[in-house]
Structure 1
Amino acid sequence: MAEVNTRKRGSKWEYRFEIASVGGKRKQKSKGGFRTKKEALEAGTKALNDYNQGGINNILDTNMSFSDFIDYWFENYAKLNYKYNTLQQYSGHISNHIKPQLGVYRIQSITPVVLQEFINGLFLKGLSKSHTTGIKSTVSKILDYAVFPMQYLRYNPCKATITPKFESSDSIRYIISHKDFKRILERFPEGNVFHVPLMLGFHCGLRISESYALTWDDVDFVNKTISINKIIYKRYKELGDYSKSLGWYIGTTKTSSSNRTLYIDDVLLNTLKKEKIRQNENRIFYGEYYTNQYISLDKDERNRDIKSIVEMKSNAHTDLEKINFISVKENGLLSTVESFKYCARVIKHELKINFNHHSLRHTHATMLNENNINPKAIQSRLGHSRMDMTDKYTHDTDILNKEAAKAFEKVIGGRDK
């Protein structure tokens, strides 16, 4: 069994002990710089114990900066386990907030006090609740990895911090009334490039990335269903750098529960039928100048195949697989999530309606809840993996409030008889 030996080198003391041999050759671990033999022996005994208990990780890189550990975590864990959009979000948190404030600390010097001051600073800068909690969550995930499997830390100090209390208005989600949605459709009527994405959000509660990824193959006009099985998203040359785009890609849905088939009402069905006829007419009108979309295989951070969207004129010759998106412009060019930003600005500033596309998803869920639809059915329709997520999408409205009052009155009336 290995034992700790000490020796004096100059004016300082050093400890040394044997570790596992490699290729039949004996290996030792040593560290110097101790003022006394006693200090060296105590440190060596602890290091040997850590080595025997959990491997050598605990005694390696004791001076590693948090910045260097973040890079290690990002390359060896994050890129292997998170989707591209999540990596983009984490990269922004790291480069804009975490590294500038915490990167210079040794990883073992990251204490709850240091982290609490960091989180308080985000709050005082005026960052939103969602942004602040998102950054805190990123820090916590990195430190979780430092605890296990790396064993650099014995516990995650972020777990002992408290998020400051934000004003409730920070988390307001707007519900679109029937009257306001009618005004929106009058501004963006049938034939407008934004009409179908608006209808899909209101009638089905789709995420915007799901709406723009729908193809005509996903629509079953006979059985009145649409299948949600993919998203579109934008990739960039460098994570966290939005200045150099690589274009649009087809990705997997947010979770496995997001893959779903939804029944649609006749209003939406007729809208889709008219849009398909309109696109066929435009294809004939533009002829060789009409633009088609195709799928080209590329590689991602994990060296896996990913699907890039390539656009070509109708007269181009290619062996690439063609894909027929529902949301395209008059001349066939792809309409995207970024295109919808113009629509949202018009609704907010011209129509004076508090709006974003996600508010249509909240509206859809709330309308179903108002009409006493089974919560499990709402969860399935939204593609949520957990019911607590669906609960966040069903909002208290005047209709629900009045129904609650009527129900209570009925209960009280029954008791008084």
Structure 2
Amino acid sequence: MKKQGKKIVTVQEAFQVWFEEYVNINTRTNTQKSYRGMIEKHIFPQLGDMEMNKLDARLLQKFINERRKCLKRSSLGKLLAIMRSCFSYAVNPCGFCKSNPAENVWLPRDIEEPGKEIHVFSSTDVAAIEKQYPPGHDYYVALHVCYYTGLRIGEALGLRWQDVDFEKRELTVAGTMLENGLRQSMPKTRSSYRTIPYGTQLQMLLQTEQLRQMDVRQSAGNSRYNKGDYVCCRIGSGKQICAPDFRFFNAWCKKNLGGGSTHSLRHTHATMLLEAGETMDAVSKRLGHSSIAITAKYYSHVTEKGKLRMRATLDNLFPPDNVTG
């Protein structure tokens, strides 16, 4: 479409250019997938056909205000950040518009971000999982790594033996296994890159698994067994495991435990640490969260229990009988 010899660019076309020239080059695969989902679901249906040079801050503010009815504050902030980045690129270097129409758009203040609802496995649930997925099952090692360390399932599957320090009893999260079976050499975010300590129980499990893999490789004379040198691999073939494979575990949890998934192992680990007295800051760093505020949103149920204990302590220190009118 031409106007006075200059091509008119739509919002959808601007996003396509931004993706091709910037996002696909500078962001991780999971980030690209997340961006694409939000853009196609929220931006294109409402703004996709609009001309870039007709966008203004008031129109976009109304759009953001309307989106608050269906998005939480964190998701709405992400949506606005995506628009700001794309439209900034549309200004320079693309020249699709003279100024960034999203620059002066802000999140409504009346949005309350509720605590995140999470599923935590009980001790009975954990025992049932142990029975269903015993040693020798393809899922056994990965499930226990998540349970004992709080790693995301992709991080556990991307863990290599070189990332495990048996002497210090530490493991380093330096990558993640993507859904397509390729290992990404960086974890989910910058803060997700971390080295964390682990206990004796996991030490014994990992040492046993490493010896098992070595025995299989030697007895089969197969130097290509577990060629990626992954901590978690298929017992018989040594092939890598991908997160989508655990859909069977998630379905089993839903059917037999009333809910839960591999991510619930992470939530269970964090909850156990917090209830045992570890600080929110220490747990936040262990989980690889970018800020303690994110951790607090997920584990507000633990802080509520802490408030109850605090009230009980206060009542013991200052008994009601001592109160005078």
**What is the TM-score when the length of structure 2 is the normalising length?**
0.80
Structure 1 position 142 matched with structure 2 position 99: no
Bigger Cα Rg: 1
* C-alpha displacement of 1:372: 2.1
2:143 match: 198
Alpha-carbon distance between aligned partners in 2 of 1:285 and 1:329, rounded to the nearest angstrom: 16
Matched, 1:279 2:213: yes
Distance 1:82 1:340 in 2: 26
Question: Which residue among 166, 180, 191 is the counterpart of 1:221?
Answer: 166
Q: SS at the partner of 1:143? A: helix
Identity of aligned residues (%): 27
Task: Assess, with a 3 A threshold, how the Cα gap between structure 1 residues 163 and 343 changes in structure 2: closer, same or farther.
Answer: farther
Determine the structure 1 residue equivalent to 2:322: 416
Pair 1:148–1:379, CA change in 2 (3 A): farther
1:341 pairs, out of 247, 250, 269, with 247
Return the structure number with greater strand share.
1
Structure 1 residues 274 and 259 mapped into 2: Cα distance closer, same or farther (>3 Å)? same
* Cα RMSD, aligned residues only: 3.6
The count of corresponding residues between Structure 1 and Structure 2 is 317
Listed as ranges, the matches of 1:10-409 within 5 Å are 63-111=8-56, 114-115=59-60, 134-135=78-79, 137-146=81-90, 152-153=98-99, 155-156=101-102, 159-160=105-106, 162=108, 171-234=116-179, 247-284=181-218, 286-288=220-222, 292-293=225-226, 322-331=227-236, 332-352=238-258, 354-397=259-302, 399-400=305-306, 402-409=308-315
Higher relative contact order (CA 8 A, sep 6+): 2
Distance in 1 separating the partners of 2:313 and 2:92: 52
Distance 2:314 2:34 in 1: 46
Does the CA-based 8 Å contact 1:365-1:393 persist in structure 2? no
Which blocks of at least 5 consecutive residues in structure 1 are unaligned? 1-31, 34-59, 236-246, 294-321
* Distance (whole Å) between structure 2 residues aligned to residue 277 and residue 154 of structure 1: 58
Counterpart residue type for residue 348 of structure 1: K
Larger deviation: 160-169 or 404-413?
A: 160-169
Counterpart code for 2:82 = T
1:154–1:206 distance in 2 versus 1, CA, 3 Å: closer
The Cα of 1:259 is off from its aligned counterpart by 2.3
Q: CA deviation at 1:392?
A: 2.6
| C-alpha distance after superposition, 1:343-392 (max 9, x if no partner) | 1111111332x212222222222222222223332232122332222323
Preserved contact between residue 56 and residue 101 of structure 2 (Cα < 8 Å):
no
1:319 equivalent in structure 2: none
Distance across 1 between alignment mates of 2:249 and 2:72: 24
Q: Tell me how far apart the structure 2 counterparts of residues 348 and 285 of structure 1 sit (CA, whole Å).
A: 39
Partner-residue secondary structure (3-state), 2:270? helix
CA–CA distance in structure 2, aligned partners of residues 413 and 148 of structure 1: 67
Report the CA distance between 1:276 and its aligned residue: 2.1
Q: Distance in 2 between matches of 1:282 and 1:351?
A: 34
Paired residues of 1:384 and 1:390 also in contact (CA < 8 A): yes
Q: Which amino acid aligns with 1:203?
A: Y
Q: 1:123 to 1:131 in 2, by over 3 A?
A: same
CA shift digits 1:271-300 (9 cap, x unpaired): 212222332343355444x8535xxxxxxx
Structure 2: runs of 5 or more not aligned: none
Q: 1:174 to 1:129 in 2, by over 3 A?
A: farther
Q: How far apart are residue 252 of structure 1 and its match?
A: 0.6
Question: How far 1:132 moved relative to its partner?
Answer: 6.5
SS at match of 1:330: coil
- Structure 2: distance between partners of 1:196 and 1:409: 46
The alpha-carbon deviation at position 156 of structure 1 amounts to 1.4
Shift in Å at residue 393 of structure 1? 3.6
Give the Cα separation in 1 of the matches to 2:18 and 2:235: 45
Q: 1:400 to 1:189 in 2, by over 3 A?
A: farther
Cα-to-partner distance string for 1:162-200 (whole Å, 9 max, x where unaligned):
49979969x411122222222212211122121222222
CA distance in 2, matches of 1:402, 1:95: 44
